[in-house]
Structure 1
């Protein structure tokens, strides 16, 4: 089994490696992605207030096998951005991605958000498939996109 818990400082290196490993696999270890964000190595410093949270998923051995978070998306009213949904290769294909989305959407609702928004890329077809199966609808690129390489944008009413 596995469990969700909030990120701690001790998780920072494992989560940063998880994100970078996934992006590299899909040729997204390039400028304009989170791969080069300075804060990626210190996520626990950023998340953990009323507007934004990040959770890790650990297996029975206490190893971090995934992570997912959200942050307020200022340009759109009552909207949270689903952020950094990543899994280890061993955890992929297990259905855990769907459970992670259910989990984070519930946390968003508890925080008072009405809409979930996310950014992704054509190279991440498995992720896009999961988002669409979970009811996300593709939208036009918003003006306020931080990671300029991302080229697919989705939203869902919570």
Structure 2
């Protein structure tokens, strides 16, 4: 399948909102303390741009949004970004799209000058956790101070670097 990955546009907002809320509900990540409940989900294109040192990508198949993921500063940090709202519809998982989105986000994070990438997720999202481990994220015992997602029970971080070191262990 030929997926297209592009920066979010206003015309993607409704579909991405639906995908984030659908997948969140699938994994029990609904309500306060989970990413799908964040206000930004209602209009993602307004919250991710170069001016705020953030970006969100949408993956489409035959013109239809099937998922997305992005990065933004963690709690206002200029050094640590957060991998945010990486969600894929069920029929589009297991085909390398999550990896492609994650690698694209990490490359952008490096280009924006971040030195680390943090994420929080749920232990029930085992394939995602496995992917993050393979891409060099390491587990943390607790969330970083300032996280908004107190419903999550897995916290991970990855040191970002440039050049060869950044690619080791990614494939």
Q: TM-score range by the shorter chain?
A: over 0.9
Structure 2 CA distance, aligned partners of 1:96 and 1:57?
Answer: 8
Match of 1:101 in 2: 102
| More displaced 10-residue stretch of structure 1: 145-154 or 68-77 | 68-77
| More displaced 10-residue stretch of structure 1: 25-34 or 75-84 | 75-84
Match of 2:150 in 1: 148
TM-score, normalised with respect to structure 1: 0.93
Match of 2:65 in 1: 64
* Structure 2 unaligned residues grouped into runs of 5+: 161-171
Matched residue of 1:104: which SS? Answer: helix
Structure 2 CA distance, aligned partners of 1:27 and 1:74?
Answer: 24
Q: Is 1:118 aligned to 2:119, yes or no?
A: yes
Match of 1:49 in 2: 50
Counterpart contact for 1:57–1:67, Cα < 8 Å: yes
Structure 1 CA distance, aligned partners of 2:157 and 2:131?
Answer: 13
| More displaced 10-residue stretch of structure 1: 73-82 or 15-24 | 73-82
Instruction: Tell me how many residue pairs correspond in the alignment.
Output: 157
Match of 1:83 in 2: 84
Structure 1 CA distance, aligned partners of 2:37 and 2:73?
Answer: 21
Q: How far does residue 9 in structure 1 lie from its aligned partner after superposition?
A: 0.8
TM-score, normalised with respect to structure 2: 0.86
Deviations along 1:128-152, one digit per CA (max 9) or x if unpaired, are: 1111111100113222111110121
CA RMSD across the alignment: 1.4
Q: How far does residue 27 in structure 1 lie from its aligned partner after superposition?
A: 1.6
Structure 2 CA distance, aligned partners of 1:33 and 1:48?
Answer: 22
Matched residue of 1:109: which SS? Answer: helix
Matched residue of 1:156: which SS? Answer: strand
Match of 2:35 in 1: 34
Matched residue of 1:47: which SS? Answer: coil
